[in-house]
Chain A
């Protein structure tokens, strides 16, 4: 006798629960990839000016797009979990290696600012024929190659400070929905404040093109 007949309930994630086979992995990856690229390009992320504008304070579109993506996914997943469409405990959570992630984030931020692209947007830049995107991507592959070759040097640091598959709820004890609520409030406030900042800063810029 089954203790709880959860097995018969069809719910996501689709592949781990056998609703679709693992062969769909790459099909879904391509579809998601196309959608991601489209959104990046449609949001104007192929332009370095848009991306570094966050740093200089005249264009916060990167912040708004990514915050939107985060809060929609966050709130959406919680609703899906509530309606029983997805089992949130089955979702893969990237393990947190905090020292290496911290340093990696700083390096990536500098790269972002100096190159004017992030890895994803450099490809969308190539797709619309930008030469700086092409150069950036060449540098990206060079960086990957150099990192891979010198990996034994960083290996210990790379694997240090492993917190495991933790979520913010595990670390802070704040429940997921309260966290999501707070995050949405912060994000929405940021949207409106950045719009005001943009207005002020752009008044002083005489020449402004994307």
Chain B
């Protein structure tokens, strides 16, 4: 019997055994489609801007704010203590270290819901849990927290309580003084920033 045959047989055997090993690594851990769909339609995956504002004010340590917009937009404006993980760097190893930390709730936000929803689905498919999307994104943030609208007189009491909270939060985030009349100039600065963000969001 030819010794070459034995040699080739062994090579082939080693290669075949190798297949089994790398398969275990290479198989992407993915959530099954039906489960993913179920998770996507759950309204509990959204958090309101009011909740986020509350957590920031209370300095809740279990909250991790992730800004999924590009680095330029992040530099221009972002929420306090937010981490910038652009959507296209989510799947790289450098981006994924912020996710899947036990006991930490990740809140994703962008100018609106689109980018953060995409990021949410990506993260869910990668198997990370406890991710939330800030409903309405930074646009809603400006509408509700920074520049809250006074509810009409006919609204229930809870609407006014919410308005009071938002006014307080607005003062917290804009750094304005309590006096209502003198903070007009501050509010103008904020308004300019909002414009910038909306322009960028139109391009998405």
Q: Is the interface of B mostly helix, strand, loop or mixed?
A: helix
The chain B residue with its CB closest to the CB of A5 is: B88
Q: Which of B5-13, B54-62, B187-195 contacts A (4 or more CB under 8 A)?
A: B5-13
Q: Quick one: CB contact mask for B1-44 with A, threshold 8 Å, 1 for yes?
A: 10001000100110111111011001100000000000000000
**In the bound complex, what is the Cα–Cα distance between A175 and B19 (angstroms)?**
11
Which of A2, A72, A178 meets B88, CB within 8 Å? A2
B81 at the A/B interface (Cβ < 8 Å)? no
Contact B12 A184 (CB under 8 A): yes
Contact status A78-B12, CB under 8 Å: no
- Whether the Cβ atoms of A178 and B13 lie closer than 8 Å is no
Chain B residues positioned under 8 Å from A4 (CB to CB): 88, 91
List of B residues within 8 angstroms of A93 by Cβ? none
Q: Does B70 make an interface contact (CB < 8 A)?
A: yes
Q: Which residues of chain A are near B23, meaning CB under 8 Å?
A: 175-178
Q: Once the chains are docked, how many angstroms separate the CA of A52 from the CA of B26?
A: 42
Query: How many angstroms between the C-alpha atoms of A181 and B16 in the bound complex?
Result: 5
**A185 interface residue (CB < 8 Å to B):** yes
User: Nearest chain B CB to A135's CB is how many angstroms away?
Assistant: 35
B26 touches A82 (CB 8 A): yes
The 8 sampled A-B contact pairs (Cβ below 8 Å) are: A1-B86, A1-B88, A4-B88, A79-B15, A79-B18, A176-B23, A188-B9, A188-B13
Number of interface residues of A (CB under 8 A): 23
Interface flags for B85-100 (1: CB within 8 Å of A; 0: not) read 0111001000000000
Alpha-carbon distance A176/B16, docked complex (angstroms): 11
Q: Which A residues, 174 to 191, have Cβ-Cβ distances below 8 Å to chain B?
A: 175-178, 180-181, 184-185, 188, 191
In the complex, the number of residue pairs spanning A and B with C-beta atoms less than 8 Å apart equals: 56
Size of chain B's interface in residues, with CB distance under 8 A?
24
- List A residues at the B interface (Cβ < 8 Å): 1-5, 71-72, 75, 78-79, 82, 175-178, 180-181, 184-185, 188, 191-192, 195
> Given contacts A4-B91, A71-B12, could you give 13 more A-B pairs where the C-beta distance is less than 8 Å?
A1-B88, A1-B204, A4-B88, A75-B19, A79-B18, A82-B26, A177-B19, A177-B22, A181-B19, A184-B12, A188-B12, A188-B13, A192-B9
Given contacts A2-B88, A4-B91, A5-B88, contact A178 B20 (CB under 8 A): yes
Q: Chain B residues with Cβ under 8 A from A82's Cβ?
A: 22, 26
- Could you tell me if B15 and A75 are in contact, using CB atoms closer than 8 angstroms? yes
B13 and A184: CB pair below 8 A? Answer: yes
User: A188 to B20, alpha carbons, bound, how many Å?
Assistant: 17
